[in-house]
């Protein structure tokens, strides 16, 4: 059981060093909105983004991260759900970001 738990922690460290592109897009849009650089975000998308980021930062999960595999599955599910619900806003943000440079 110990080795498996260590493998999960290594996986989490890998995620923090090289997060998925969707998560980076998610984070960039959140940062640009609160800096006032990009405001073309619907209220629904903003709520999903803030809720997902808050859930990931909050140490109290539905399934604690210490539970092998399942502990990170709930985090991944929240991110996947939020990205799916905000896909159009994220695509619009990426278009804005590439044309604004």
Q: Each residue of 11-57: pLDDT tens digit?
A: 444 445 556 676 777 788 878 888 999 888 888 988 888 888 888 88
- Residue identified by tokens 């800096």 is 35
pTM of structure: 0.58
Cα–Cα dist 75/55, whole Å: 8
In the chain, the number of structural domains is 1
Half-sphere exposure of 60 (CA within 13 A, CB side): 0
Residue length of the chain = 101
Q: Each residue of 74-87: pLDDT tens digit?
A: 888 888 888 888 88
Cα–Cα dist 21/35, whole Å: 21
Per the structure, the complete domain to which residue 23 belongs is given by: 2-100
């Amino acid at each position: 059981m110990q080795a498996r738990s260590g493998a999960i922690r290594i996986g989490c460290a890998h995620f923090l060093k090289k997060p998925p592109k969707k998560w980076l897009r998610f984070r960039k849009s959140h940062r640009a909105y609160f800096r006032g650089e990009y405001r073309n975000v619907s209220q629904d998308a903003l709520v999903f983004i803030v809720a997902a980021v808050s859930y990931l930062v909050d140490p109290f999960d539905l399934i604690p991260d210490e539970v092998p595999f399942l502990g990170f599955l709930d985090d991944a599910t929240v991110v996947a759900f939020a990205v799916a619900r905000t896909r159009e806003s994220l695509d619009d943000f990426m278009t804005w970001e590439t044309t604004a440079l």
